[in-house]
A and B are shown apart, each in its own frame.
Chain A
Amino acid sequence: MSHTFKGGVHPNYMKAPEIPISVITPPPQVIIPMTQHIGAPCKPLVQVGDYVKMGQKIGENPAPVSAPVHASVSGKVVAVEPRPHPLGDMIMSVVIENDYQDTPCEDLAPLTEEQLKDSEAILERIREAGVVGMGGAMFPTAFKIRGGIGKVDKLIINGAECEPYLNGDHLTMLNYPEQLLKGIELVRIASCVDKAYYGIEKNKQDAIDLLNSLHPEKYGIEIVPEEVKYPQGAEKMQVNAVTGREVKPGGIPSGVGCNVVSTRTCYAIYQACYEGKPVIERIVTVAGSALKAPVNGLTRVGTPFGYLAEQCGGFVKPPRKIVLGGPMMGICATSFDAPNIKGTAGVLFFTEEEDKHVEHPTCIRCGKCITVCPMNLEPVFMYMYYSKGDFENMAKYHITDCFECGSCAFNCPARMPLTHAFKTAKLMFQAKQMKEKAKAEAEAAAAAAKEAKQ
C-alpha cells in the first residue's frame, strides 16, 4: 500500500520532465527584492554606483526570522528603490546592471570536513546563504530547522511536487541525485536526527529508482513512494502520509515531531555547504498556453517575467494571467516587470484556455468539495456562512484550518470561488482578532489610568 492522505484531487498534470534543463541567459538588469522570505525585510547593504560580484550579499536583517539576499549577477548597482514585487505591491529592491562577467564572490568558502558534520556550522551557513523554503512558502530554513531541534524525531523531505506543470524537483532528482542526497544528509545532521524520510510521488518512478540505486541508506535516508494526488506536497499531508500523524489545528509540523523540507531547499543547502554558493538561481518551469512549449529553465533570481517569456520563445497568444508557482496554489503577478524570486518554482502564462470562469456561479450542493478536502472541512457550509458574514458558524466549521490548497474550488462543478472566499474570511478573522486585542488593551489602559487617578 502506498502512502497517502484522505481526500485530494487529480488535476491534469501537464508535466514535462522530459524537457532538459536549459540555461536562461541572465537579463541586462536584474531586480533583487529585499523581501524574498517570510519575516523581517532585508536592508540594502549597497548603494547606487557600487560594483557587486555574483553571490555577494546585498541585503540583510539581523532578526532571527529573516534571510539575506545575494546578487545573482556581477555588475554595477544602478538603483536602490521600490520596484514591483511578484507578490504585488512595490518593495525595496536592488537593481544591478549586468556586466555579463559573472565574477564570483569568494565570501562563502565551502565548508570543511568537520564543519559538514556540525549542526551549528551547517545552520549558520544555511542562514548566510539565504536559504528559504523553496517549495514556495519561503520560510527561512535555518530558523525552521533550529526550532525543530529536540522536538523533531521524524525529518521529512518533500519530493511530491504535486502541483501541475512544475518539473524543478523532478529534474533536480534526475540530474543531481548524489548532490541531492548529500544535501538531505546535511539537513538531517543539522536537525540532529538519525533518519530522513524522502516522500516522492510515484509519477516520478524513474527518480525513485535512480535515488534508490545510489544507496540512500548510506546517508540515513529512506525513500517513501507516495500515491499521486494533489495536495500530497502540502506540509500537513506529507506528515500525514509518511507518519500517519495529524498536525494540530493552527499548529506546525514540529508540534507532532516532524519537520518538512522541500527537495529544492535540500539541493540549495548542498550548494551552500559544499560549493559555497548562495541562493541565486533555481529551475523555473515556464509554461502555459500563451507559450509555444514549456521550458525548464535554470533562471537567476531577479529575472523579470517579461524578459523570461522572451527567452522562452515569446508569446504565441497574449497571456491573461501570470501565475507564480503551480496553478493550484499559485497567485497571480500583476506586472511583467516583476522579477522571479527564490520561491518561484514556476511562471505560467495562462490565456482564456485555462480559465474556466462562469458568469453566475451557483452552488448545486453536490458535496464534491467535502469529499476532496484534505483537512476534513465542509467547504459548502463554510462558503454559505461566509456569504452571510456569520463569523460564529464559520469558526464552528473550522474555517481557519483551511490552508487554501484549492482542491474544493478545483473540483467544484459550479465554479464557486471557494478558496477565494476562505482566504478572505481568514483575513477577516485576523483583522477581527487584532481589533479585539486592541480594544482589550485600550480598555485595560483606560482602567489603569482610572486607577492611577483615584
Chain B
Amino acid sequence: MSNEKKERIVLDVAYQPQVRTNTDTRRIMLDVMIALLPAVAVAVWQFGIYPLLVIAVSMASAVFFEWGYRKLLKKHSTIGDLSACVTGILLALVLPPDAPWWLPIIGTFFAIVVVKQLYGGIGKNFLNPALAGRAFLLASYAAIMSGAYLVPKALRSTIDAATMATPLSFLYDTGAMPEYFSFVDLLIGKVPGCIGEISALALIIGGVYLVLRKVISWRIPVSFVGTVALLCLIFGYQGYGRVEWMLYNVLSGGLMLGAIFMATDYATSPVTLNGQLLFGAGCGALTVLIRYFGGFPEGVSYAILIMNLCSWAIDKAFHRHQFGVSKEDIKAQKEAKKAAKKAAKEAAK
C-alpha cells in the first residue's frame, strides 16, 4: 500500500482487550430458548398445539411491549438482545395449558413494562419479570390460574373429566398423594400442570445444556433442589416413606422449571459464587416452608421472588478473598486492629 493511502487510514485506539469472546447477550438468550425446547415439546405432546399459540402470543406481546416502551421514551431499542423473547416464553410456560390466549398479554405487560423497563430494562430489574407477571396474574385471575388443570393426553383414558388437580394441589386438598400416576410419569410429564412444568426430565435436559454451554452455573439449581430434597427427607410426611415423599416433592410442581430457568435469572440472582449457593438454599427452604404450611399448594414462584429481593444483600455479604491475603494475614489484621483499639482506650483513660 502506498504512503498516500496509509495517510487516509484513521486508526482506532481502544484499551485492552482487543478481542472478545463470541458469546454475547443475544447468544445467551438464544441458548435459554433452545434449552426450553424439550419442555415445549412435552407440552405439545400432552396438551396439543394450543399451548404453542399461548407461547407465541406471549413472546410477541413481550417483544411488542419492550419495543413500544423504549420507542415511546425515545431510548435505544433493546429487542435485539432477545431477553424479551425469553421473558415471554417463560411467562407462557407458567400458565395453565388452557389459559385464554389474551392472558399472557396482560402478564407480559406487567412483566416487561412494570417489572423490567420501569427499573431501567435488562439487568436492572430486581424481580424475575416472568414470575412477577405470573404472580400478578395469579392475584388478578385466580380462577383461571389456580383452578383445576387440563387433563394431559396420557391420562384421558383413566380420568373421566376435562380437568383435574395437579399433583401438588391434590396433596394440598386431600392430604394424600394421588394414585393415578407414578414417579416415571412425573419425570416424563404425564401429569397435569402448567405448560412448561410437567416434565422434570425435559427441564433437566435443558438445564444440563445450559450448564454445558456455561450459560448458568450448577450452583443455584443444585442448591435449590438439594435443599428441597434434604428438608423433605428430614421432615417427611405422615403415612409415606421419606424417600417417596422426597421424590414426589422434587419431581412435581414448578420446582425444576423454577430452579433451572427462573432462579438462575442473571439480574435477580447473586453473582458471587457462595452467594449463589445461599440463594439456592434459601429458595429451597422457602419452597418447602410454603408447601408444608403456606396457603398455596405450590411455593416455588413466591420463594424465588422473595429471594430475588435478598440477592443484593447476599452479594454484599459474600466478599471474595483478596488475592495475596491469606487467612493468617486477615487474623493478624484483626488482632492489630483490636490492639490499636485497646491502646486507644487505655490512652483515653
The residues of A with any CB-CB pair to B shorter than 8 Å are 9, 11-12, 164, 236, 246-249, 251, 306, 309-310, 314-315, 318-323, 327-336, 348, 350, 354-356, 358-360, 362-368, 370-371, 374-378, 380-381, 398, 401, 404, 406, 409-415, 417, 419-420, 423
Contact = CB atoms under 8 A, between A and B. Distances in A.
Contact of A319 (B9, B23, B321): B9
Nearest to B121: A362
A398 B19 contact: no
Interface stretch (B129-137, B265-273, B293-301): B265-273
Contact of A236 (B14, B15, B323): B323
Contacts of A378: 271-272, 319-320
A374 B320 CA distance: 12
Contacts of B12: 320-321, 332, 355
Given A359-B76, A371-B217, A377-B320, A365 B16 contact: no
B11 A327 contact: no
13 contacts: A11-B21, A246-B323, A321-B18, A329-B16, A331-B16, A332-B11, A332-B18, A362-B78, A364-B267, A376-B322, A376-B323, A377-B320, A417-B15
Contacts of B25: 362, 364, 413-414
A314 B1 contact: yes
A350 B16 CA distance: 13
B23 A336 contact: no
B324 interface: yes
Nearest to B315: A381
State the main secondary structure of chain B at its contact with A: loop
A336 B266 contact: no
A365 B21 contact: no
Interface string B249-284: 000000000000000001100111100000000000
Contacts of A358: 24
Q: Which of B14, B21, B320 has the most CB of A within 10 A?
A: B21
A354 B320 contact: no
Interface in B1-29: 1, 3, 6, 9, 11-21, 23-25, 27-28
Given A365-B271, A370-B271, A401 B322 contact: yes
Contact of B11 (A321, A362, A367): A321
A411 B18 contact: no
Contacts of B11: 319-322, 332-336
B53 interface: no
Given A332-B13, A413-B24, A414-B25, A375 B18 contact: no
B18 A336 contact: no
Contacts of B217: 371
A375 B323 contact: yes
Nearest to A7: B323
B152 to A, nearest CB: 35
A188 to B, nearest CB: 25
Contacts of B319: 378
Given A380-B271, A414-B24, A404 B323 contact: no
Interface string B316-333: 000111111110000000
A356 B21 CA distance: 9
A331 B319 CA distance: 31
B28 A413 contact: yes
Given A248-B325, A362-B122, A406 B28 contact: no
Given A381-B315, A404-B16, 7 more contacts: A236-B324, A321-B12, A328-B16, A332-B18, A350-B18, A370-B272, A409-B16
Q: Which 8 A-B pairs have the closest CB atoms?
A: A367-B271, A406-B17, A420-B15, A356-B20, A327-B18, A246-B324, A327-B19, A364-B123
B323 A401 contact: yes
B223 to A, nearest CB: 15
Contacts of B324: 236, 246-249, 251, 401
A414 B266 CA distance: 12
Contacts of B28: 364, 366, 413
A363 B273 contact: no
Contacts of A248: 324-325
B266 A332 contact: no
B19 A370 contact: no
B325 A410 contact: no
A327 B12 CA distance: 14
Contacts of A366: 28, 266, 271
Contacts of A414: 24-25, 123
A410 B15 CA distance: 12
B2 to A, nearest CB: 10
Contacts of B315: 381
Nearest to A251: B324
Given A362-B121, A364-B266, A419 B17 contact: yes
B1 A310 contact: yes
A5 to B, nearest CB: 9
A415 B273 contact: no
A365 B267 contact: yes
A322 B273 CA distance: 37
Contacts of B9: 318-320, 336
A371 B19 contact: no
Contacts of A364: 25, 28, 83, 122-123, 266-267
Contacts of A332: 11-14, 18
Given A334-B13, A362-B123, A354 B18 contact: yes
Contacts of A9: 21
A164 B214 CA distance: 22
B30 to A, nearest CB: 11
A410 B20 contact: yes
A44 B325 CA distance: 44
Contacts of A318: 9
Contacts of A404: 16
Given A12-B19, A356-B20, A362-B78, A371 B273 contact: yes
A155 B83 CA distance: 50
Contacts of B1: 309-310, 314-315
Contacts of B76: 359-360
B339 to A, nearest CB: 21
Given A334-B11, A370-B273, A365 B266 contact: yes
